């Protein structure tokens, strides 16, 4: 039995970034993407925090970066906006270079180009509702995503992270767009309800995730899954998904379990178990890329890494015994 490869993703960028800048980040229409222009040294330091904590994949600080957003809120031209997206990759690459020099590691961490949904640019919380699904076409979404995806690919990212996708139409548009870049790999994570079945536009999660995986160029989508969901309900979406023939690689990076609203920000409504308590269950279900999202930081990545190592070690011992 060959060793199972689990890749550890970084945590919530805004949460860790706040330890360096101290400024209010949540609520900004550009969110952390503003700091590429104002505090690039803090962006690089945040990447380094995650690498030193054990992240094997760091995401570029481009989740909420867009040409329209930079034009409206920073008065940038299209070329200036694209340059800032290129800069985001450069900052991540510099952090990797520093980390490898520090550790003398022979295995280079990967850089994933973060691509948030169209709804994130609207700054109305619609990445958590998918409310725009009926008012935009697949063609519009392809053209809206294209400039950032091309900028990230041309800057040399290792993989694309298509994140927090709230509607089936946008997933279809992204899979179609990816086919224009056949050598580029990506994962897709969805924004989901708390019912264990649906993405937030009401589409069935399993059907939508499987359709995305199967309709892509073979091997282009490395995993499908969920991000920014409470840890305690994440497994309900995955249970049984890998019980049949074939294996669907899953990616999961949940939030801390707190709830976000545009009006009130993040609120803790109950006593949510710690994220790391669920790691073994998720890996058993087929999660092969795991990390944290909003309200998780470098310390959480360290805890995730420890639990992943325990699980991998147990699997190795079990295989040797048999």
Distances (CA, A) of 232 to 208, 229, 278: 22, 9, 8
- Can you tell me the distance from the alpha carbon of 40 to that of 294, in angstroms, rounded to the nearest whole number? 20
- Can you tell me the distance from the alpha carbon of 320 to that of 322, in angstroms, rounded to the nearest whole number? 5
15 backbone dihedrals φ, ψ, rounded to 5°:
-65, -45
CATH number for position 220? 3.20.20.330
- Tell me, what's the pLDDT at 316? 86
- Tell me, what's the pLDDT at 27? 83
- Identify the three-state secondary structure at position 58: strand
287: left (phi over 0), alpha (psi -120 to 50) or beta: beta
- Identify the three-state secondary structure at position 112: strand
Beta strands 7-8; 287-290: pairing state: parallel
Domain that holds residue 68: 7-321
* Residue 68 maps to a domain: yes
* Residue 192 maps to a domain: yes
* Residue 2 maps to a domain: no
CA angle, 97 then 292 then 284, to 5°: 110
* Residue 29 maps to a domain: yes
CB 8 within 8 A of CB 57: yes
- Tell me, what's the pLDDT at 273? 66
- Can you tell me the distance from the alpha carbon of 41 to that of 116, in angstroms, rounded to the nearest whole number? 23
- Tell me, what's the pLDDT at 305? 98
Residue partners of 152: CB distance under 8 A and separation at least 6? 60, 62, 85, 89, 113, 115, 160
Mean pLDDT per block of 10 residues along the chain (322 residues) reads: 87 96 85 96 98 98 96 96 98 98 95 97 90 94 98 98 98 98 98 97 97 97 97 97 93 86 57 84 98 96 98 88 67
* Residue 57 maps to a domain: yes
- Can you tell me the distance from the alpha carbon of 314 to that of 310, in angstroms, rounded to the nearest whole number? 6
* Residue 66 maps to a domain: yes
Domains identified in the chain, total number: 1
- Can you tell me the distance from the alpha carbon of 199 to that of 192, in angstroms, rounded to the nearest whole number? 4
* Residue 1 maps to a domain: no
Q: What is the reported pTM?
A: 0.95
* Residue 14 maps to a domain: yes
| Closest alpha carbon to 292 in 278, 311, 309, 271 | 278
- Can you tell me the distance from the alpha carbon of 234 to that of 238, in angstroms, rounded to the nearest whole number? 7
CA angle, 55 then 111 then 142, to 5°: 130
- Tell me, what's the pLDDT at 22? 82
- Can you tell me the distance from the alpha carbon of 194 to that of 128, in angstroms, rounded to the nearest whole number? 11
């Amino acid at each position: 039995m060959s060793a199972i490869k689990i890749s550890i993703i970084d945590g919530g960028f805004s949460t860790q970034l706040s330890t360096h800048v101290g400024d209010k980040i949540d609520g900004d229409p550009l969110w952390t993407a503003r700091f590429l222009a104002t505090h690039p040294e803090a962006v690089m330091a945040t990447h380094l925090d995650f690498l030193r904590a054990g992240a094997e994949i760091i995401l570029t600080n481009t989740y909420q970066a867009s040409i329209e957003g930079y034009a409206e809120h920073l008065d940038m031209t299209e070329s200036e906006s694209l340059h800032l997206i290129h800069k985001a990759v450069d900052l991540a690459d510099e952090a990797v270079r520093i980390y490898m020099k520090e550790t003398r590691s022979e295995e280079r961490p990967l850089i994933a180009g973060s691509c948030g949904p169209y709804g994130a640019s609207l700054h109305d919380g619609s990445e958590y509702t998918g409310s725009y699904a009926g008012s935009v076409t697949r063609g519009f979404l392809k053209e809206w995503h294209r400039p950032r995806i091309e900028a990230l690919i041309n800057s040399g990212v290792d993989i694309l992270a298509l994140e927090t996708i709230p509607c089936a139409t946008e997933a279809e548009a992204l899979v179609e767009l990816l086919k224009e870049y056949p050598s580029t790999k990506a994962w897709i994570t969805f924004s989901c309800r708390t019912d264990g079945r649906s993405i937030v536009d009401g589409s069935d999660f399993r059907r939508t995730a499987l359709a995305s995986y199967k309709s892509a160029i073979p091997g282009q989508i490395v995993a499908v899954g969920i991000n920014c969901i409470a840890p305690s309900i994440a497994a309900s979406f995955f249970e049984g998904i890998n019980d049949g023939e074939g294996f669907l690689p899953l990616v999961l990076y949940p939030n801390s379990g707190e709830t976000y609203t545009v009006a009130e920000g993040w609120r803790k409504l109950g006593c949510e178990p710690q994220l790391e308590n669920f790691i073994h269950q998720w890996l058993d279900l087929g999660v092969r890329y795991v990390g944290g999202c909003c309200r998780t930081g470098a310390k959480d990545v360290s805890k995730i890494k420890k639990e992943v190592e325990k699980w991998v070690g147990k699997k190795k011992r079990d295989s040797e015994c048999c």
